[in-house]
Structure 1
Amino acid sequence: MFIGIDLGTSSVKSILVDGNDTVIATASAPLEVSRPHPTWSEQAPADWWTATLKTLDEIKSKHPKEMAAVLGIGLSGQQHGATLLDKNGDPLRPCILWNDGRSEQECIEIAKQWPEISKLTGNPAMPGFTGPKLLWVRRHEPEIFKQVAFVLLPKAYLRYLLSGEMVEDMSDASGTLWLDVAKRDWSEELLAGQHMSRKQMPRLVEGSAVSATLKPELTQRWGMAKPPVIAGGGGDNAAAAVGLGAIHPGDASVSLGTSGVLWATTAGFAPNKNLPIHAFCHAIPNTWHQMGVILSAASSLTWWAHAAKSTEKELVAELGSEVTEPSPLLFMPYLSGERTPHNDPNIRGAFYGISHDTTRAQMTQAVLEGVAFAFRDCLVALTEAGTKIKAADAIGGGSQSRLWVAIMANVLGLPLSRLAGGEQGGAFGAARLGRMAATGESPSAVCKPPKRVETIAPMPALVQHYNETFRRYRSLYPALKGAFT
């Protein structure tokens, strides 16, 4: 038996999986995000731990026999979060999250200091990354910065509480702006240039390697026969890719989670200094990937459901089983700023084209399409960076909507496959990483692709309509940028 723990933005999800990839049990606990100022986004690390304990206690209460047989634990987590610890290992402040935009000025300064930083890190300086956040803390909270003894990413903080060890995997470390991504090691130059040091960093391991073992008291709490090993794990997207079996060059996926990711596994480290796309280490050895990232994917529909005083399911049901033409409205899904292709933390969302005749259904369709257009922006960026995507798997909570996946297929002009268990995401991949760490099995033996429920092919006539609408969509960003600058 193997456990996967996924520390997301909106919840912690734990999953129990057997040696045949059968999901025995799942449990989740919600998390809240604090936004004390515009563009800020924070969470209390203590809430992650409370939620993790709750999910594993629940699984143990229902499946004590299976929990006793657990051999390995894998971790998946939201990336980039700056969890600052003092010399005793206690948090100094709330964690600054991946979708926090306060460090824009620090990114400008990093770009001036290292114009070619993408060649080393695979990424331009972006406010979501960990390094700029620490520079912000140094400037605005100097007393806290002086006390920073360790910096951990969110899932590494969970590992620390589970095992007492400070360790991180390569895929998550790629999102700090401190990693030499090609060498898969911390960069002394980047750390020193950002007023940090290696001694403040966790030890690095591959995602499928053993990083630590579970504490005896927690082993006893959950009734395990012996302390299971804890794998290095992966950043949420890398772990989800492991769950999809996306470990070969050319494998691709579209993730409709809180944020959105267009993923492409690559044969090697493939940075592109001119575009805000990511080139990261994968969670398995000697493998890398590229990503285009949008900050508000399924969370755009969640926001609209709240504003419309309805549920997401009810809103989508109003559209019927298919759409035959684009909505007359355009929705710009920049609720938290945007990463790919704009790298703009200050831009904000908008509806365009509202009239006296506008209906709620048209607005809902525009939200689904606006997210799809943002993904197409990512596709354009990846294509310009030399990555060719011919088809992709749809994952994340939003992929449960066949209608939304069909809209995505027509906007992207790509066949998209819906998967059995596609909503499991990072937790399932984390369990696989835990299995590899415990058994020593190879990625090719463990990371088999899941069953494809159906493949939705784009419809040529609708693709043409969306091509025209996409041109209008792209013309709106400059106007919005002028309004929010």
Structure 2
Amino acid sequence: MRSGGRAVGTDALLGVDLGTSGVKALVIGVDGELLGEAEAGYPVRSPQPGWAEGDPGEWWAATVRAVRSALERAASGRAAERRPDGVRISGIGLDGQMHGLVLTAADGAPVRPALLWADRRAAGDLEPWTALPAGERERLANPVVPGMTGPLLRWAARSEPDAVRAARWALLPKDWLRMRLTGAAATDPSDASATLLWDVPADTWSRAALASAGLPERLLPPVLPSGSAAGALTGEAAAELGLPPGVPVAAGAGDTPAGLLASGAGEDEVRLTVGSGAQLVAPTGDPAPFPGGHVYRTAEPGGWYRMAAVQNAGIALDWVRRLLGADWEELYAAADQGGPGAGGVLFVPHLTGERTAGTGTGRGEDGAAGRLSGLSLGTGRTELLRAAVEGVALSIRHAASALPGGAPATIRLTGGGARDPRFRHLLADVLGAELRPTSLRSPSALGAALLAARAVGVPLAPPPPRNEPPIHPGPNTEAYRELYTRYLKAATAPEEPPLR
């Protein structure tokens, strides 16, 4: 492609996925060819028990590393051989971890560390939401949990009023990253719908929730369609990323709706994604709430999706693995040793609370606590590791039971946390469902690139998902049905008061 005799490169899109503990960058040509991909990590910090914080400065440094590395890979190797005129980024799209809170000054500088979705410090700040009239609460279409933006903002207003007074914007994580790229504040409906400050059927901020919580509307950013242009890359950000200034940046979406956009899931098809948490997701045309579940906006111009969420999937497995000094291979190998029930050991993985209806103590809908029971002198590492994998699978089954119509008979399986075949077979047994694995490279980052294409009016033909052979429930299904009854009793039991 040439303009006035000057080589300007081949059009490509950049998708950036800002996750909980790492960022992915993906460069894809408008013809659907994946040209370069990279990722970089950052820590989640817990300065007090139950807290989960991130440093946006570390998010930005990791984004710079990942984008530069993805661009370098796009400019080298086989991609460069096929595209000798180079690669030109026509647009940038973003997606990110949902919920949480980034309080920023007018110039986008954070006034305190970011509060993340796994944070529980706002458990005592939920009353303004639970006290809403039934009709107004139903319009939020979601259970009241402390890691959502609204309760976290109320905690900040009550506990750190100086920080709130210093803030101009209350942003979600990907919205902070976009402001760092463009200098402009905004959000999109898919992320806004996950704040407990959004009227889901009306598709606008909920004045009732804001008034009940006593939160200032001035902190809320403008709302733009996910696939619209929200600004252009500033000179400063462009220099750090190795891109020219002025590249359009899309409004973007939350990570789950971005992944849905990339996978092209049909209405009422249930998709299970396993990562730090786990999500059972089904697109729908009905924004009506359902007990124990979530209803959020999609990244499309209209529509919603139902979600039954598990907060503690990979995050719980990683905790057990590190506690026992095991690697991931040993953890998943344990899922293939012994039989169902892990020698009597039962693990309820609610380490950061949980959202499924019926869990916890009544101190807010995520008041559940983790439990480990059934230990004996004969319990060893293998039993503990197998119990961890079983506990996460049982927690996913519990969440699936909250979906309208109950746990589905077939589930499309995605996400990096469910790649190991031993875990897949155990999961099929526990769910009593046929799993249909679908492989798609970095679906959330790909969804972000699709939104970038829409923002700049460039047609993008994404690579189709690759379907793998289905996994059917095996002979252990009945044993896991009995173990699930024991799990439910433990997961829904009131928490014992602490010793004094």
| CA deviation after TM superposition for structure 1 residue 107, in Å | 0.8
| Aligned counterpart in structure 2 of residue 40 of structure 1, from 46, 51, 55 | 51
State the distance in 1 between where 2:248 and 2:176 align.
Answer: 16
Partner amino acid for 2:420? Answer: S
Partner amino acid for 2:20? Answer: T
| Conservation of the 8 A alpha-carbon contact between 1:14 and 1:427 | yes
State the distance in 2 between where 1:222 and 1:86 align.
Answer: 23
- CA 1:448 to 1:16, structure 2 compared with 1: closer, same or farther past 3 Å? closer
| Aligned counterpart in structure 2 of residue 208 of structure 1, from 208, 222, 227 | 227
| Conservation of the 8 A alpha-carbon contact between 1:117 and 1:124 | no
State the distance in 2 between where 1:355 and 1:21 align.
Answer: 55
| Conservation of the 8 A alpha-carbon contact between 1:77 and 1:155 | yes
- CA 1:223 to 1:137, structure 2 compared with 1: closer, same or farther past 3 Å? closer
The number of equivalent residue pairs is 474
| Aligned counterpart in structure 2 of residue 467 of structure 1, from 448, 465, 481 | 481
State the distance in 2 between where 1:395 and 1:8 align.
Answer: 16
| Aligned counterpart in structure 1 of residue 372 of structure 2, from 351, 360, 367 | 351
Partner amino acid for 2:61? Answer: T
Aligned to 2:5: none
* Residue 323 (structure 2) pairs with residue 304 (structure 1): no
* Residue 383 (structure 2) pairs with residue 362 (structure 1): yes
| Aligned counterpart in structure 2 of residue 450 of structure 1, from 442, 465, 471 | 465
| Aligned counterpart in structure 2 of residue 17 of structure 1, from 28, 51, 68 | 28
Aligned to 1:340: 356
Aligned to 1:181: 200
State the distance in 2 between where 1:184 and 1:449 align.
Answer: 31
Structure 2 counterparts to residues 15-414 of structure 1, below 5 A: 15-64=26-75, 68-219=87-238, 222=241, 224=243, 227-246=246-265, 248-272=266-290, 275-320=291-336, 325-328=340-343, 329-341=345-357, 342=359, 344-383=365-404, 386=405, 389-414=408-433
SS in 1 for 2:187: strand
CA RMSD between the two structures: 2.4
State the distance in 2 between where 1:222 and 1:482 align.
Answer: 51
* Residue 490 (structure 2) pairs with residue 476 (structure 1): yes
**Cα offsets for 1:106-138 (capped at 9, x unmatched):** 112321134444421111321011111111111
State the distance in 2 between where 1:440 and 1:197 align.
Answer: 38
State the distance in 1 between where 2:133 and 2:65 align.
Answer: 44
**Cα offsets for 1:402-440 (capped at 9, x unmatched):** 111222222112211222236x24222212222232336
SS in 2 for 1:381: coil
State the distance in 2 between where 1:69 and 1:393 align.
Answer: 35
Partner amino acid for 1:378? Answer: A
| CA deviation after TM superposition for structure 1 residue 260, in Å | 1.3
- CA 1:52 to 1:278, structure 2 compared with 1: closer, same or farther past 3 Å? same
Partner amino acid for 1:87? Answer: A
| Conservation of the 8 A alpha-carbon contact between 1:73 and 1:231 | yes
| Conservation of the 8 A alpha-carbon contact between 1:69 and 1:225 | no
Structure with higher Rg: it is 2
Partner amino acid for 1:262? Answer: L
**Cα offsets for 1:1-32 (capped at 9, x unmatched):** 11111111111111112234333222111111
More deviation, 471-480/276-285: 471-480
* Residue 455 (structure 2) pairs with residue 437 (structure 1): yes
Aligned to 2:9: none
Partner amino acid for 1:153? Answer: L
More deviation, 263-272/5-14: 263-272
| CA deviation after TM superposition for structure 1 residue 61, in Å | 3.0
State the distance in 2 between where 1:162 and 1:87 align.
Answer: 14
State the distance in 2 between where 1:454 and 1:138 align.
Answer: 51
SS in 1 for 2:223: strand
* Residue 55 (structure 2) pairs with residue 7 (structure 1): no
- CA 1:153 to 1:475, structure 2 compared with 1: closer, same or farther past 3 Å? same
Q: Which runs of 5+ in 2 are unaligned?
A: 1-11
Partner amino acid for 1:288? Answer: W
Per the normalisation by structure 1, the TM-score is 0.91
Per the normalisation by structure 2, the TM-score is 0.88
- CA 1:419 to 1:7, structure 2 compared with 1: closer, same or farther past 3 Å? same
- CA 1:61 to 1:440, structure 2 compared with 1: closer, same or farther past 3 Å? closer
**Cα offsets for 1:12-65 (capped at 9, x unmatched):** 111112234333222111111111112111111111111111111222333346
State the distance in 2 between where 1:266 and 1:93 align.
Answer: 37
More deviation, 189-198/291-300: 189-198
Partner amino acid for 2:27? Answer: L
State the distance in 2 between where 1:128 and 1:164 align.
Answer: 26
| Conservation of the 8 A alpha-carbon contact between 1:29 and 1:55 | yes
Partner amino acid for 1:452? Answer: N
| Conservation of the 8 A alpha-carbon contact between 2:106 and 2:168 | yes
| Conservation of the 8 A alpha-carbon contact between 1:234 and 1:430 | yes
- CA 1:191 to 1:449, structure 2 compared with 1: closer, same or farther past 3 Å? farther
| Conservation of the 8 A alpha-carbon contact between 1:398 and 1:404 | no
SS in 2 for 1:182: coil
| CA deviation after TM superposition for structure 1 residue 326, in Å | 4.0
State the distance in 2 between where 1:250 and 1:125 align.
Answer: 24
- CA 1:282 to 1:448, structure 2 compared with 1: closer, same or farther past 3 Å? farther
Q: Percent identity among equivalent residues?
A: 30
